[in-house]
Amino acid sequence: MENGKECGDCSFDFSSQDLQSLPDELLTKELEEKIKELCLDYNDFDELPEETNRFINLVKFSISGNNLSTLPGIQQLVCLKELNLDENSLISLPDTLGELQALEKLSMIGNRLKTLPESLGKLKSLRELYIDENDLAVINFSFQNLEHLEIFEATNNKLEVLSEDIGCAKKLRILNLNHNQLLTLPESISDLEAVEILDLSNNLLKELPERFASSKRLVKFMAENNTFKYFPFWFCDLPKIEEMYLSDNSVTLEPFDDEFCSNAPNLRILEAGANYMSSISEKFGLLSKLEQVHFGSTIPELERSHFQNGNWMVKLPDSFCELKHLNKANINENQLNCLPERFGELESLTWLDLGQNMIRHLPSTFCELRNLEFLQLSKNQLEELPEEIGNFQKLIELRLDNNVLKAVPDSLGTIKGLQALDLFSNELEALPEVIFQLKKLTRLDLDRNNFNMSLADVPKITPGINYPERDPKLKNNWRGRTRQVQMDNTEVIEYKDEGEEDTIVEEEWNYQALRTAMHRGMSFWRSHTNPNERRRPTGSKANSVTITEESEPRFDDDSENLIITPSNEQIIITKQNGSFSTAFDPNEEDWDEEIKINTEYKSILLTCDERQISNKETPLTDFQKFVNQYPPAKQCFSSTGFYESFVHVKKNRENVKTSFNSGDTNVFIVEGQFDDAD
């Protein structure tokens, strides 16, 4: 074969050849009856070549990534067992598709299908059916004859209704209905008795069926981002369950009760953040194989505010400390005021987030968590740290911002591998000497403390820039020049004098820009609108530092203004809403202000904060396209402290009481979400 790849005696691969018609070498009587497998992926076919129906013994046929709009003659391929039509432009399918009685696998992902032929229900041999990423609102074919169907995936459609007889697919093992608009499930779904993986995430479901025949076989259950308030009785009878994802619902009280904990011995991953749970069972420790637990916020770190997004748990049961295999725990944004005294027995824990709780003291055993690599205690009420904190010899990242710490233990300096330390907004009066012992620090934030020293003297670390080595052959070429990384500290002033143009270059530091750059360079919790907005809800003090430079900039303690005297002129930079503003350089670009007034970007902030959006048809389409232009700030994440970004959208929530209009975006207030704010 010159243009294609012969994969065997009966298999041919002509993918990515820019073909618009079948190669002549295939159209020979000698080959037509021998070809068993044919791949035409990623070519330029606008329709299925008529000559394809000559391959009467074809078993596997893939023609994905083309521009097909029709499938003429497809019924002639009576021996076909696998058909891949992904990523084409199909709007509908012919009824003759149901004549492919040998078909076992059919994939039509990423087309524009709005309906499916009823004849699909006649494919008695079908084992796998994939119809993801289309425009389907209804599944209108019958499942009565699909007795061999094992996998049915229909994610990212607009499904509102499923076939009433879906329960007839008795061998169905994987049912994936993620990202649709389902309000209810058909009653017959209760009769499915072989389901091992069930994904109902990102729909509008309010309740599950009271009975589910597959409960004892279920291994993985996903139901995030719906409006479930409770779970039925079978929820407590899941002996084989290993992974469970229930975040972003309206679950209240205690869903993981004694019976659940007693009957789920194989559970490894449990995610139930962004609900309204008030407690978990005293027998929670019976989940002995649990490796990851998430009861905290589902909003990415970049978007966090001071309203409650986790759960409402006040304490953890003592048995929680018996989870010997637990390695990751996210319990931020709850109401925890203390931890169990035995908390240090969680010997496998490597990642722990207890941020935005109400913890004042850590238990005496806390520093026995010797395998910790990431520890976040941000936004609590910690007054002191245990002296044994030096036991965390594997710690890479430590976040202690927004507490009321007045000092840090000397043993902190023994954690030689520590790379990130956040002490933003505490009550430190003296510079911690231990930071000079931490030679591997790459990120440090000491801002918003009570140091009585100049801004220039406060230790700061700015990330280095490591460019790849230049090609020596390009040394005399512009491509080989070294990039400029230092900030230009000169300002060019142009003026006219006696009809002649001239330019004066005057060296003059813009201290507002320098201060903002320092905040941003050190900040762990980047803000979209202002680098100074990262305050704990209460108790934050104004910065009283005095800056001394050649131009003698200083803070006025009474007015909280920043005063700069570059020469004979005094410039007052006024502090408003925690940030500084001035007309010192009217021509300077203000990126923060440009972002603020960008209405599209404002809608992103509002949506992330409120987790609500009003859109009649496709609430995520335009929004997701735009949000992709604003990836999370790099320094908000690290190898140890990473939060999965996700834009949460909910519609028709019962607890939405009030709405108001802001620009072109309808914003909804969820009752009680601001109860813990100032």
607 vs 645: CA distance, rounded Å? 13
3-state secondary structure at position 521: helix
Do strands 500-507 and 490-497 pair parallel, antiparallel, or not at all (unpaired)? antiparallel
606 vs 530: CA distance, rounded Å? 16
Q: What is the pLDDT of residue 171?
A: 96
User: Which of 81, 106, 131 lies at the terminal end of a domain, its last residue?
Assistant: 106
Q: What is the pLDDT of residue 4?
A: 55
Q: 102 is in which domain, residue-wise?
A: 1-106
Mean pLDDT per 10-residue segment, the chain (678 residues)? 54 93 86 90 93 91 94 92 96 93 97 95 96 95 95 97 94 97 96 97 95 96 95 93 96 90 96 94 96 90 62 95 97 95 96 95 96 95 95 96 94 94 92 89 87 73 64 69 46 38 42 56 52 38 34 44 42 39 43 48 47 39 40 39 38 33 39 44
The answer to the question of residue 426 being in a domain is yes
Q: What is the pLDDT of residue 289?
A: 97
Q: What is the CATH number of the domain that holds 398?
A: 3.80.10.10
Q: What are phi and psi of 649, to 5 degrees?
A: -130, 130
The answer to the question of residue 89 being in a domain is yes
Residues comprising the chain, all counted: 678
Instruction: Kindly give, in sequence order, each residue whose CB lies less than 8 Å from that of residue 596, ignoring residues fewer than 6 positions away.
Output: 529, 602
User: Which pair of tokens denotes residue 425?
Assistant: 């907004």
List C-alpha distances in Å: 136 to 88, 170, 188, 482, 624.
Answer: 15, 24, 21, 54, 20
321 vs 285: CA distance, rounded Å? 7
Q: What is the pLDDT of residue 487?
A: 38
The answer to the question of residue 36 being in a domain is yes
CA geometry: angle 55, 61, 66, nearest 5 deg = 115
Q: What is the pLDDT of residue 456?
A: 67
Q: What is the pLDDT of residue 448?
A: 86
258 vs 282: CA distance, rounded Å? 7
531 vs 511: CA distance, rounded Å? 15
Positive/negative CA dihedral, 13, 17, 18, 21: negative
91 vs 74: CA distance, rounded Å? 16
Instruction: Kindly give, in sequence order, each residue whose CB lies less than 8 Å from that of residue 394, ignoring residues fewer than 6 positions away.
Output: 350, 370, 371, 372, 373, 417
User: Which pair of tokens denotes residue 624?
Assistant: 């997701």
List C-alpha distances in Å: 647 to 200, 221, 312, 328.
Answer: 17, 21, 22, 23
User: Which pair of tokens denotes residue 224?
Assistant: 């995030």
User: Which of 106, 124, 147 lies at the terminal end of a domain, its last residue?
Assistant: 106
The answer to the question of residue 326 being in a domain is no
Task: Indicate the DSSP class of residue 96.
Answer: G
List C-alpha distances in Å: 634 to 440, 558, 590, 604, 644.
Answer: 19, 37, 21, 18, 13
Rg of the chain on CA atoms, in Å: 31
Helical segments of 485-524, H only: 511-522
Q: What is the pLDDT of residue 283?
A: 96
List C-alpha distances in Å: 200 to 73, 176, 204, 577.
Answer: 36, 7, 9, 43
652 vs 137: CA distance, rounded Å? 18
375 vs 351: CA distance, rounded Å? 6
**Residues facing 590 on adjacent strands:** none
The answer to the question of residue 203 being in a domain is no
Q: What is the pLDDT of residue 306?
A: 58
Positive/negative CA dihedral, 559, 561, 564, 570: negative
- Contact between residue 458 and residue 432 where contact means Cβ atoms under 8 Å apart: no
The answer to the question of residue 97 being in a domain is yes
User: Which of 52, 73, 106 lies at the terminal end of a domain, its last residue?
Assistant: 106
Q: What is the pLDDT of residue 403?
A: 95
b/e burial code for range 360-396 (CB count within 10 A of at least 16 → b): ebbbebbbbbebbbbbbbbbbbbeebbebbbbbeebb
pTM score: 0.73
173 vs 218: CA distance, rounded Å? 9
The answer to the question of residue 458 being in a domain is yes
Which amino acid would we find at residue 40? L
b/e burial code for range 83-113 (CB count within 10 A of at least 16 → b): bbbbbbebeebeeebbbbeebbbbbbbbbeb
Which long-range CB contacts under 8 A does 193-200 form with residues at least 24 apart?
Answer: 193/217, 194/150, 194/170, 196/220, 196/240, 197/173, 198/222, 199/155, 199/175, 200/226
The answer to the question of residue 613 being in a domain is no
- Count how many domains the chain has: 2
- Contact between residue 161 and residue 183 where contact means Cβ atoms under 8 Å apart: no
348 vs 464: CA distance, rounded Å? 33
List C-alpha distances in Å: 298 to 102, 291, 304, 423.
Answer: 45, 18, 10, 24
User: Which pair of tokens denotes residue 288?
Assistant: 């002995």
